[in-house]
Structure 1
Amino acid sequence: MTTEPRAWEGVLAHIEARLVDGRLRLGDHLPAERTLATDLGVARSSVREAIRVLEAMGLVRTQTGSGPSSGARIVARPDGGMQSLMRLQVAASGFPVADVVRTRLLLETAVAVDLAERSADVDLSDAERLLAAMDDPALSPAEFLALDANFHLALAEASGNTVVAAMMSGLRTSIEGYVLAGADRIPDWPAMVDRLRAEHRAVLDAIVAADVDGARTRIHDHISGYYRDASPADPSATPVHHESR
């Protein structure tokens, strides 16, 4: 006996195909529910179900309302099984934030150094597109920080090290979770956004300039600085230190 695919699965396949072939890019909004339903000949409920699945997979972030930030925005690209398994492990284990930050520092300083050493031969176009998407003043904190997490993932992917990229992808949900929780503890969020944008650009500029030491220092200070400023006032929290080299 054959089973006909459910309508929402067709919507899901349609959206994923356009993510893979580049017709939908990081930072783009999905077409409106009504438009997708009409184009694909399905009910709007099927479109909503597909978007819920994409949101659960971490590919889109939705926001209600009627302004420019409303609807579903692309915040990640489809990835493979290893990343998915690691995300499940992170979700199940609830790794301590300090451990996640230390792991980020180990992985991302290595990535930044590697990219700076090979700056003439690496493709940073995804990272550039994410920086441009983060310049949108209508972004909510959740949308901005989802794109922020994917900027860091794009650098790992640009390195060509599939193991590091898979680890970063697996940690993305945990990273996004702690940075979003910390946003509520930032007294001046617009100023923090300006600072994060400048720090992202400084990291990328150092990589493009083949400034190995600058890339290492800037990515380290960027990650540890946000962790320091957005962490709860808990005297038992373990600080992140800059190791001397």
Structure 2
Amino acid sequence: MKNYELVLHRVEAELAAGRLRIGGRLPGERALAEQLGISRPSVREAVRVLEAMGVVRTATGSGPDAGTVIVAEPVSPLTAVLRLHLATNHLPMGDVVQTRVLLESWAAREAASRSPELGAVSALLDRMDEPGLSPEEFHLLDAEFHVALAGLAGNVLIAAVMESLRSAIHGYVLAAVPNLADWEATAVGLRAEHRGIVAALAAGDGEGAAGLVAAHIHGFYQAARLPS
């Protein structure tokens, strides 16, 4: 194990045990080096890795904001990793689509059983009905809608993965818009499908909502001629 990895494992263990939380500070560079028996450059390397992952923020000086502070939210590191993998074609689009179908279908089925509050997702649909939306504006709202749907299931990790996936593939979705024969007609269809999903959730029809979500996802990728 490399020396800097000792620091990463220490931070992971402290977070898992609840001794280190968001907003908390890591021990100083000298203290960590002495505790782990490694050099201060190795500690600095570990901190740079944690900062690149979005887990910590560093600030120099001696004020209240100085030091290395835990700032991570679950989505940030996941999104960065997924974007890199997609950029290097390590995640085939077909696999991404299958993953979305699995996660979102489960989330819809689970959400329907919980009698969810649908005001927020309905408000997003109303915003998508506004005239003159560009494809980019529409798909940003669409991404927010799908993440909100996943959140209705009450599973924090699935919501985080969904947000990461949607953020990571946003560019691919926009790039596919010119492949659509008629964007305006496609947008009308997507709006209707969204309304159908929400109606099924409101009726407590989990299987119906799950089926509509799966058809909605597959339908767009097929229309945009993306491999699914």
TM-score by length of 1: 0.60
Rg bigger for which structure?
A: 2
1:213 to 179, 200, 207: 207
2:102 match: 106
One-letter amino acid of the structure 1 residue matched with residue 106 of structure 2: A
1:225 match: 219
- Asked if 1:85 is matched to 2:77, the reply is yes
Provide structure 2 residue ranges, at least 5 long, that are not aligned to the other structure: 1-70
Residue-pair matches, total: 155
- Asked if 1:118 is matched to 2:110, the reply is no
2:170 to 167, 176, 182: 176
2:161 match: 167
What percent identity do the matched residue pairs reach?
42
One-letter amino acid of the structure 2 residue matched with residue 115 of structure 1: A
2:58 match: none
Assess, with a 3 A threshold, how the Cα gap between structure 1 residues 175 and 127 changes in structure 2: closer, same or farther: farther
One-letter amino acid of the structure 2 residue matched with residue 97 of structure 1: M
1:80 Cα shift? 5.7
Aligned 8 A contact 2:82 2:165 in 1: yes
2:123 match: 129
Structure 2 CA distance for aligned equivalents of residues 175 and 123 of structure 1: 28
Aligned 8 A contact 1:97 1:178 in 2: no
Structure 2 CA distance for aligned equivalents of residues 219 and 80 of structure 1: 30
Structure 2 CA distance for aligned equivalents of residues 80 and 227 of structure 1: 32
Structure 2 CA distance for aligned equivalents of residues 228 and 81 of structure 1: 33
Aligned 8 A contact 1:153 1:165 in 2: yes
One-letter amino acid of the structure 2 residue matched with residue 91 of structure 1: R
One-letter amino acid of the structure 2 residue matched with residue 190 of structure 1: E
Provide structure 1 residue ranges, at least 5 long, that are not aligned to the other structure: 1-78, 240-245
1:175 Cα shift? 3.2
1:188 to 176, 182, 193: 182
Q: Please, what is the CA RMSD of the aligned residues? A: 1.8
Structure 1 CA distance for aligned equivalents of residues 72 and 100 of structure 2: 20
Structure 1 CA distance for aligned equivalents of residues 169 and 109 of structure 2: 21
TM-score by length of 2: 0.64
1:174 Cα shift? 2.3
1:187 Cα shift? 1.1
Structure 2 CA distance for aligned equivalents of residues 214 and 226 of structure 1: 18
1:149 match: 143
